[in-house]
Amino acid sequence: MDEALPYAELGSGWASLRVQKQKVWHMDTAACGRTSHAVRARVAEHLAQEAEEGGYVAEASIAPVFTNARARLGALLGFAAEDVAFTESASTAFVQLLASWPVEKGDTVWAPRSDWGPSLAALVDRGLRVELLDVDSRGALDIEALETRLRHGRPALLHMTAALSHRAVLQPITECLMACSSREVPVILDVAQAAGQFALPEGAAAVYGTGRKFLCGPRGVGYLAVSKAWQPGLHPRAPALAVEAWPGEDRSVRRLESREAFVAGRAGLAVALEEFHQRGPDRIRTRLDAIGRAGRRVLGNVPGWSAADPVDAPGAIISLQADSADADLAAVRADLLRQKVICSVTGTERAPHHMTRTLLRFSPHIDVTLDDLGYVADCLKIASR
């Protein structure tokens, strides 16, 4: 039986801010959300201002916009405005963070076995020794195993992908932070998928992510936030330049911010964050959860497919596994695209130590309705023939 989705007017309001769905069923927020008209207008407006006044004067003239965006972002991430820096993407944020984090080559880092593959690779590139932590069958960190391990050893840091990109899994973040704080192990969280989808607790040493997924900012703007305790210990690559750029901030996280950047995109993200805030992050999360549940039920019932996660798993990611191990998921996706349904194929490189099968991933935002999900299920039946 169909449950009605909560906050229908929130969903239709969200839709009215954007290009009308017309004949495209965008179910790919986890790759890249749909920006609003106002976000794109703000980007264009700032580009025009740059053309008139030059980039640096234009940037300085809207400094309060960025302060406000840092505060909004910080509120979602569990940090204060002054702890937040803008980057270009989640990946660049993590590389900048690692390059300046006080660790030595050869130091040990812990990460759940289900962690995002490119982040594990970045840790190895930094010369760190990655030890994988036990997870359950769904990829959720085993807290008891972590606590046992912490009694015998202590890594230089623990990295964790707060919400997985290929499945509806939210890590036990609070429990992990508690276990690690008792041993003074800093926790760095990848919140690329979690930001906007889930409430995040305070207490991480650092977090990083991107604005373009569930926050629906423009592409090309990421962020990181570092706790006050860890900011003075960062060793940025180009300190002299940064100090000159921000007098008096010579110990802050903003030393990691790229000076040359897609500033118009940051202004656009500021608008997206304002829209998110005005509509209520809690209500948005509640509706995303409900859409995820409905989607797993509806799409997981299409013959030949099953939902990779239980129906009541958290968040809006709906991952399907083909019954047949040699199904060509790329061909199914391409067929769906011909029917104007946009989704992703998530390969095992996303979690190379945990995933064994490629999955078909749908990730709607709150503008999606039960009718849309039913329509997409019909398209999937056609695509799977």
Residues that bind ligand PLP (CB under 6 A): 89-91, 116, 161, 165, 190, 192-193, 210, 222
Are residues 37 and 16 in contact, defined by beta-carbon separation less than 8 angstroms? no
Are residues 366 and 10 in contact, defined by beta-carbon separation less than 8 angstroms? yes
Nearest residue (CB) to ligand PLP, 78 versus 222: 222
Least distance (Å) between residue 363 CB and ligand PLP: 10
Nearest residue (CB) to ligand PLP, 91 versus 227: 91
What kind and span of H or E run contains 362? strand 359-362
Least distance (Å) between residue 93 CB and ligand PLP: 8
Are residues 222 and 88 in contact, defined by beta-carbon separation less than 8 angstroms? yes
Nearest residue (CB) to ligand PLP, 190 versus 367: 190
Nearest residue (CB) to ligand PLP, 192 versus 298: 192
Are residues 135 and 113 in contact, defined by beta-carbon separation less than 8 angstroms? yes
Nearest residue (CB) to ligand PLP, 189 versus 294: 189
Least distance (Å) between residue 246 CB and ligand PLP: 24
Least distance (Å) between residue 89 CB and ligand PLP: 3
Cα-based torsion angle of the residue sequence 172, 174, 176, 177 in order, rounded to the nearest 10 degrees = 160
Nearest residue (CB) to ligand PLP, 18 versus 212: 212
Backbone phi, then psi, for 83, in 5-degree steps?
-95, 0
Cβ neighbour number for residue 82 with a 10 Å cutoff: 17
Nearest residue (CB) to ligand PLP, 49 versus 214: 214
Least distance (Å) between residue 317 CB and ligand PLP: 10
DSSP structure string for 4-55: PPS-HHHHHHHHHTSS--TT-EE-BTTT-PPPPHHHHHHHHHHHHHHHHH-H
Least distance (Å) between residue 215 CB and ligand PLP: 12
What is the Cα–Cα distance from 330 to 50, expressed in whole angstroms? 41
For residue 52, count CB atoms less than 10 angstroms from its CB and return exposed for 0-12, middle for 13-18, buried for 19 or more: exposed
CA atoms within 13 A of residue 282's CA, in its CB half-sphere: 0
Cα torsion 103, 108, 111, 116: sign:
positive
Least distance (Å) between residue 380 CB and ligand PLP: 23
Nearest residue (CB) to ligand PLP, 163 versus 379: 163
Nearest residue (CB) to ligand PLP, 10 versus 191: 191
What is the Cα–Cα distance from 248 to 340, expressed in whole angstroms? 52
Least distance (Å) between residue 96 CB and ligand PLP: 12
Least distance (Å) between residue 378 CB and ligand PLP: 28
What kind and span of H or E run contains 158? strand 157-161
Three-state DSSP state, 115:
coil
